[in-house]
Structure 1
Amino acid sequence: MDQKLQVAGTQSQLEMGSLASNESSHEFEDESLFSPESVIQKMQLGHISDYGSAPGGSKMWKNVVYKSIKTGLVFFLSLLGIIPLAERLGYATEQLAMYTGPTVGGLLNATFGNATELIIAIYALRNGMIRVVQLSLLGSILSNMLLVLGCAFFCGGLASAIVNSGLLLMAVMGLLFPAVLHFTHTEVHYGKSELALSRFSSCIMLGVYAAYLFFQLKSRKDPYVPLSEDDSQNRENEGDNDETPEIGKWESVIWLLIMTAWISVLSEYLVDAIEGTSHAWNIPIAFIGVILLPIVGNAAEHAGAIMFAMKDKLDISLGVAIGSSTQISMFGIPFCVVVGWIMGKPMDLNFQLFETATLFITVIVVAFFLQEGSSNYFKGLMLILCYVIVAASFFVHEDPPPEEKSLTP
């Protein structure tokens, strides 16, 4: 009888031990839930308060918050630092163009007028962030056509405004066909035909832009002045606009190199902090690329267009706004496609359906606004409010994952 009781006691102890081991294993599994990765994941979902009482949770929480604040500060300080550098870069380019003559000066303005956007795009392209490149270049076009042009119209008031938007429509066509080819699944070789078409179209667009520069510099000095104006008025305008350089030729070159180097350094920090800022501050990458980056890169152009419009020089404001949009669409985007081709990066002209439709609608709206050949305050206000709608649209727009692009239909 005693032996049976001892055996039963031993079995009960073994069962209790197994239960204890199971409870300890469950406790171990529960503790494993407090790994740094799970903490960060749950904190991003809004469960920060769950870790206040966990052992070491407050320390992890502080580290995550510190990294989030640090990443955001690096991003926004880099943005703020680029603004004055972009303005000085434009100033140095204008001063150097006064020494080189109209032909080389036009090429300089075409190359360095949007140098900030191109530098940011090349750094992002080197890091494989193709969508950031596409979104930032698209945002530069939208901000110039809607925000800059709208501010110029609003500040300038009543004036004549005749612009040829043919190149912008051609750029939209170049961006539209690869997107339609992709989303209709009509490629001969899926994934390859789209890229080949983008590279071929980019070479064509660069050739057309070179012809446009030749036409602008040789045939007409100012494509934004109506052809019906008298030669005497053109001579008066040329006499009024005669300017002398404020700094020397080599001094302009030195400042141009210094500003470009500093913008390159800040652009590298900026590009590295884009994804971290998007996750830490819950800001869509589409909104960062289309709205924040172009506003900073075009800050000098925004200010210049508004100042010229307030001085009743709307033709110069149109040259800044529409000319910059033309440079980005016909030179900047194809140039990045060719650079990506050289780097081995699959940069193409497929800007996705939402982005391409936004650009198409914007170009059509601006073309209708300029069709009458005049501007007023109300047109400027409407263009500015259109840009606000575009910004709100991209703030709620979720960019499709890159894996979708490689799936077979």
Structure 2
Amino acid sequence: MKKLFFPLLIITFILSALSHFMHWGAELEFGFAGLAILFAAGLLGKATESVAHYAGQRLGGFLNATFGNAAELIIAIFLIKEGLFDIVKASLTGAIIGNLLLVLGASAFVGGLKFKEQKFNVHLAGQNASLMLLGIIALFIPAIFVKTEHISEHDTMSISIIVAAFLIFAYIGWLIYSMFTHKDLLEDHVDTQADHGEKPAWTKGMSVVFLVVATVMVAFISEWLVHTLDTFSSRFGLSELFVGAFVVAIVGNAAEHSAAVMLALKNKMGAAVEIAVGSSLQIALFVAPVLVFISLLFGKEMNLIFTTIELAAIGVSVLIATSISRDGSTTWFEGKLLLIVYVILGVSFYFV
């Protein structure tokens, strides 16, 4: 299977490109893009694992979250250009809850079936919990004030810009804190020891090259897949909210899904948590605020005010993810709980 991986990756990518540009129909476009993104995400996961061998699990997980969110950011920019702000916010909501519930849940569940208990840095878990709460506060407070005090659209945008700027400032501070000033405190020293005796798949240079190539492929395939969503949603009677929060979000975060589960299966839960929770934090503290400023470049103002349903979904996701991960350990049962909450939210969004 390893020998067939790269040929299958190239074949599915070419078929996905041909079906998109030659208009073979939404069904074939969706099918080929879905297959292609699975292989591209697999390459991204393998490249991340190889980079983590050289750079450490935290930096490897951070790179995976960043490169994985590149697809989400690119998709959102295209949607903003079209003025589809509701789908953008729904996809951001889906990305946050998807990473906290689906990615972290699947990683904890699958890894827990193989290992009785998986541990990771408790200091990192605590800091992640605090940052997740900051993200919730930053989204909840403006929404409550705007909706209860009937603040004007101009002032709503002003609030969004100010909050977005401080969220970006907080995220930059977190990077400095976690990567430089307190790096040793937050590192998983046990898990970073030469991959438990395993050799990396590629050299350091090739690992970075494959990481970039896989990210570019995921971004292209994600865009092609988005173009099939209108037909897909109308044919199956799905709402824009459900498509944005679940379909687009799952597609945009396919890379994190595969990489986190692969790492959990190798008992590297620290890296899996860094991917799942780190990606959610990056969406809430960096991607969403940046999109507010990007919308201004297009001459279209997208505020940071989410709907009550979206805020409730993000709130419960943060609540249970924080509760489960704060002690620095996970089991298959805790992973199952996260997945159940994700299913409950999915069913509820479906009927909106």
Question: TM-score, normalization: structure 2?
Answer: 0.78
1:320, distance to aligned residue in structure 2 (A): 1.8
Query: What residue in structure 2 maps to residue 369 of structure 1?
Result: 324
Cα shift readout 1:197-230 (whole Å, capped 9, x = no counterpart): 11211111111111101111111246365xxxxx
The structural deviation recorded for 1:261 is: 4.5
Which of residues 184, 203, 208 in structure 1 aligns to 2:148? Answer: 184
After superposition, where does 1:230-249 map in structure 2 within 5 Å? 234=189, 237-241=191-195, 246-247=202-203, 249=205
Q: Confirm whether residue 379 of structure 1 aligns to residue 343 of structure 2.
A: no
CA shift at 1:305, angstroms? 2.2
Question: Once the two structures are superposed, what CA deviation does each residue of 1:382-405 show, in whole Å capped at 9, x if it has no partner?
Answer: 1111111011011011xxxxxxxx
> Cα distance, 1:315 vs. partner?
1.9
For 1:207, the equivalent position in structure 2 comes to 169
Partner in structure 2 of residue 71 of structure 1: 26
Hey, what's the Cα distance between the residues in 2 that align with 1:252 and 1:158? 30
How far the C-alpha of 1:100 sits from its partner, in A, is: 8.5
Report the secondary structure of 1:179's partner residue: helix
SS of residue matched to 1:113: helix
Between structure 1 and structure 2, the one with the greater Rg is 1
- Compare 91-100 and 161-170 and name the one that shifted more: 91-100
Q: CA deviation at 1:142?
A: 0.7
Cα distance in 1 between the residues matched to 2:65 and 2:176? 12
Retained in 2: the 8 A contact 1:140–1:294? Answer: yes
* CA–CA distance in structure 1, aligned partners of residues 177 and 102 of structure 2: 28
What CA distance in whole angstroms lies between the structure 1 residues aligned with 2:25 and 2:142?
A: 39
Find the aligned partners of 1:304 and 1:206 in 2 and give their Cα distance. 26
Q: In 1, are the aligned partners of 2:37 and 2:254 still within 8 Å (CA)?
A: no
Q: Which region of structure 1 is more displaced relative to structure 2, 313-322 or 194-203?
A: 313-322
User: Secondary structure of the residue that 1:184 maps to in structure 2?
Assistant: helix
Q: Which amino acid aligns with 1:154?
A: F
Q: How does 1:14-163 map to 2 (within 5 A)?
A: 70-89=25-44, 91-92=46-47, 108-109=63-64, 111-155=66-110, 156=112, 157-160=116-119, 162=122, 163=125
Deviations 1:182-209 (A, max 9, x none): 321431xx11111221121111111111
- CA drift of 1:176 comes to 1.3
Q: Secondary structure at the match of 1:131?
A: helix
Cα distance change of structure 1 residues 126 and 98 upon mapping to structure 2, 3 Å threshold = farther
Residues in 1 aligned to 2:118 and 2:57: alpha-carbon distance in whole angstroms: 27
* 1:347-385 per-position Cα deviation (integer Å, ceiling 9, x unaligned): 221121110111112111222223444422222211111
The one of 257, 275, 290 aligned to 1:335: 290
Is it true that 1:220 corresponds to 2:220 in the alignment?
no
CA contact under 8 A between 1:124 and 1:271: conserved in structure 2?
Answer: no
Question: In 2 relative to 1, CA 153–390 (structure 1 residues): closer, same or farther, beyond 3 Å?
Answer: same
| SS of alignment partner, residue 114 of structure 1 | helix
Q: 1:73 to 1:129 in 2, by over 3 A?
A: farther
Residue matched to 2:240 = 285
Q: Give the equivalent residue in structure 1 for 2:132.
A: 168
Task: Output the CA distance in 1 between the equivalents of 2:238 and 2:329.
Answer: 38
Could you tell me how far apart the structure 2 residues matched to 1:331 and 1:277 are? 30
Q: Does 1:300 find its partner at 2:262?
A: no
Distance 1:258 1:323, change over 3 A: closer
Counterpart CA distance in 1 for 2:95 and 2:240 is 15
Taking a change above 3 Å as real, the CA distance of residues 93 and 102 of structure 1, as seen in their structure-2 partners, is closer
Does residue 238 of structure 2 align to residue 274 of structure 1?
Answer: no
Structure 2 counterpart of 1:212, which letter?
Answer: W
Q: Is the 8 A contact 2:171 2:285 kept in 1?
A: yes
Query: Which amino acid in the other structure matches residue 202 of structure 2?
Result: E
Could you tell me which of 180, 193, 212 is aligned with 2:155?
A: 193
Shift of 1:180: 1.5
Question: Which stretch has the larger CA shift, 106-115 or 128-137?
Answer: 106-115
Query: Which digits, 9 at most, give the CA deviation of each residue in 1:10-30, with x for residues without a partner?
Result: xxxxxxxxxxxxxxxxxxxxx
Q: How many residues align?
A: 317
Structure 1 gap segments, 5+ residues each: 1-68, 226-233, 398-409
d(CA) in 2 for partners of 1:102, 1:266: 27
**1 or 2, which has the higher helix percentage?**
2
Deviates more, 1:276-285 or 1:321-330: 276-285
**Separation in 1, partners of 2:71, 2:93:** 14
**Structure 1 239/248 Cα, relative in aligned 2: closer, same or farther at 3 Å?**
closer
Distance apart, 1:312 and its partner CA = 2.6
| Aligned position for 2:303 | 348
TM-score by length of 1: 0.68
SS of equivalent residue, structure 2 residue 153 = coil
Q: 2:297 and 2:317 mapped to 1: Cα distance?
A: 31
